[in-house]
Structure 1
């Protein structure tokens, strides 16, 4: 048991979960816990089932067997329900509307969440405080931004909901390690300030481990390792799992 688990109930948990596509399971018998106020890093080779799991947790893909619990209560997720529970999801590939300005992307996210007036202004201010570089391209169309800038906007939009749980699917795609680290550090600070839970699916393990409390390795639909980042400091041990 790691320190983050002591005395804490899971924010989300899956038990004997099975899911996949076109009648074929990507994983089955999967059990995993995401605790309150932790960053859990999920790593594994391409096709291991990591992104599929996030889609199931957010309700974008139904599960075929098993149980999903939210703070101990069994649920069958849908995107609207999970958003209502305070769960935000940032998909792989940057979920922005390219024809809209960054300001308009934020406004659309707030409108869809029925957040208005002073509350909306407050939330925008808090996000811009965490990710201040967004101010530099606030009036530019999202499609004209660099990959790193689009990723900031995508994550910023998710943070507008003040989530208790944030599901991040490979935010490093297209980013240099330094840019990725610059993005992760303020998110880690925000997570700790708000006692938020983060499930981070990532390939750039060095940068991801530096902001993670626990790490889980998935291989071919199975969880083959669970521990803390320091357990995988030996690169040879880590590479042997892929």
Structure 2
């Protein structure tokens, strides 16, 4: 019952939570998506065609340029091991549902691996875990069918109870919801050979948070990208979408 306490309290707390959400919306600093290339080829070694698809963190909000955002840091980390052909489709406020709708706009080309970064906006919209799971499956199935993606890395939903911008009890409610959605990603990885899940286990220290109190800083993107590169290269299977690993 303790796990579901936040759900039980949503209704009596609804007026306060709504007021806090409005306050956050009015107070939050609107950081832009950073400029810079969103696709490219670099490195030497086995080929890896990588699609990065997701929300404002995928798009690098909180960094000054794409080079110091997630895609740039990840491209540098991977290009030391593979010939990386990468493409970024990240958008502020994106949910799993909006990424599904974006599929026709993706490049008409194959990818070996898709890095999916969703959950924060699904959390703030209080998307039901079963709905989140179904949409994640639909997105992966669609990417497999249209782009030949053979492997998926699901980046974990961040623990929103640590976001400095959010007041209590809104921070607690969203943190509990984020944990439920992240558990669905972990469950998917345990069930599907081609899927792995990387928990977002960053230390939530001030220098790892952007000035808006919500997005990662450049230092956080550097750490996160190293974690993702390790997951992508695990077991030497990065260059083959057909070879995959389970979550561990």
Give the shorter-chain TM-score range: under 0.3
- What is the TM-score with the length of structure 2 in the denominator? 0.27
Whichever structure has more strand as a proportion of its residues is 1
